[in-house]
Amino acid sequence: MTKVDGFVKAGFEPVRDLLEQHLSDGSDVGASVAVRVGDEVVLDIWGGSADASGTRPWERDTIVNVWSTTKTMTFLVALMLADRGELDLDAPVAKYWPEFAAAGKADVRFRHVLSHSAGLPGWQEHLEREDLADWEKCVTLLAAQEPWWTPGTASGYHLVTQGYLIGEVVRRITGQSIGQFFQREVAEPLGADFYIGLPESEEGRVSLVIPPKGVDPASVNPTSIGARAMASPNLTKTGDAPHERWWRAAEIPAANGHGNARSVALIQSVITNRGEVNGKRLVGEATVDRVFESQINGTDLVLGVPLNFGAGYGLGSETIPVGPRTCFWGGYGGSLIIMDQSSGITFSYMMNKMFEGLIGDTRAMSLLMTTMGAASLL
């Protein structure tokens, strides 16, 4: 049995045992799990290998590309600006970014961007993967683009575009890139080891993700919104992009954040704790409540399953039945962060071995269920 390192509060040993099982049977290669109850860390564990060949152990400070779990950091930044009165979630995006009003988007609200209902889940023009490092090109094309459906009427998961849409509004308001704002206003004050745009100085700690085979293009209707969203750039074969320095260095705020379970849990416990963590208030309680107000609920036009979105974060739906004061999101390959205000639990799982497909990975859910079961017995 592969042993893991870290801290486990009495009663949470079954979570450690399950991660050890996953590492031993090959379900995981290297991974970290963190659980907080309020401000108390009840579990902070890691183990396995930081590389596919098994030559580097996953250490306490190992970090990994967490894919769309990065989106939760952009949601928090937006909520902070809203709480300060600098961003109105109900206002048109064009209030802050005038060029965005082009092509019939004058009435697209910022909350539509947060809830994946802005109608811009991909780029109409062809992009190469490396174009994602060109911020001006990405946002200029989105500003000029016509929505693919009537904004506000349905969600269509904005796989990569959402980060640029939120990030450009942040840049217009603050004069800083979203990665810079996040680092100065969130990561550094909290002492959280998470980056949107990885400094070269941190490269030695990175565990490169182990990508899946990717989506078979033949299995997807090429004219569907989902296929179009993944076609530019070709996101069916992007699993190995984090192996390239340009990807890690760029700010791709919906997809290329680097951190581990500890740092993600620390930051997102701000939501669990109604705006405050370790005595530091980032957001007011009333603003955090906006997270739990459903903005769009129904079959997602990109992912093809019923989803319910609040202010960015996912809420309970028939696909993911969680409680009314629980929100979450995860990343391509399996990472997951979930915040449950009712129990005070923040659960985080970050790993390097990616699951095949965009949804359906059971590793994080089994660890989460074990965590909730352990907490209920205390």
Going from the N-terminus, what domains does the chain have, and what CATH number goes with each? 5-376 (3.40.710.10)
Q: H helices within the chain, ranges in order?
A: 13-25, 71-83, 110-114, 135-144, 161-174, 178-182, 188-190, 225-231, 245-249, 261-272, 285-289, 363-376
255-264 average pLDDT score: 98
CB 59 within 8 A of CB 68: no
Ordered strands of the 63-65 beta sheet: 195-196, 257-259, 63-65, 206-207
Query: What local confidence, expressed as pLDDT, does residue 126 receive?
Result: 94
CB 291 within 8 A of CB 308: no
Task: Report whether pLDDT(218) > 70.
Answer: no
Confidence of residue 357 (pLDDT cuts 50, 70, 90): low
Q: How, if at all, do strands 280-281 and 276-277 pair?
A: antiparallel
Amino acid letter, 153: T
- Count the neighbouring beta carbons within 10 Å of the beta carbon of residue 160: 26
- Count the neighbouring beta carbons within 10 Å of the beta carbon of residue 1: 9
Query: What local confidence, expressed as pLDDT, does residue 43 receive?
Result: 98
Could you tell me the pTM of the whole model? 0.97
Query: What local confidence, expressed as pLDDT, does residue 339 receive?
Result: 98
Q: How confident is the model over 42-93, as pLDDT tens digits?
A: 999 999 999 999 999 999 999 999 999 999 999 999 999 999 999 999 999 9
Amino acid letter, 74: T
User: Is 27 in the active site?
Assistant: no
Amino acid letter, 97: W
Q: Under DSSP, is residue 298 helix (H, G, I), strand (E, B) or coil?
A: strand
Query: What local confidence, expressed as pLDDT, does residue 235 receive?
Result: 72
273-296 average pLDDT score: 98
Place of tokens 């269920």: 369
Query: What local confidence, expressed as pLDDT, does residue 348 receive?
Result: 98
Query: What local confidence, expressed as pLDDT, does residue 121 receive?
Result: 98
Tokens of 277: 């963590």
For residue 221, the number of C-alpha atoms closer than 13 Å in the C-beta half-sphere is 8
Place of tokens 């997270």: 291
- Taking CA atoms, 198 is separated from 135, 329, 348, in Å, by 16, 21, 20
- Please tell me which residue in 32, 49, 68, 317 is annotated as part of the active site: 68
CB 303 within 8 A of CB 359: yes
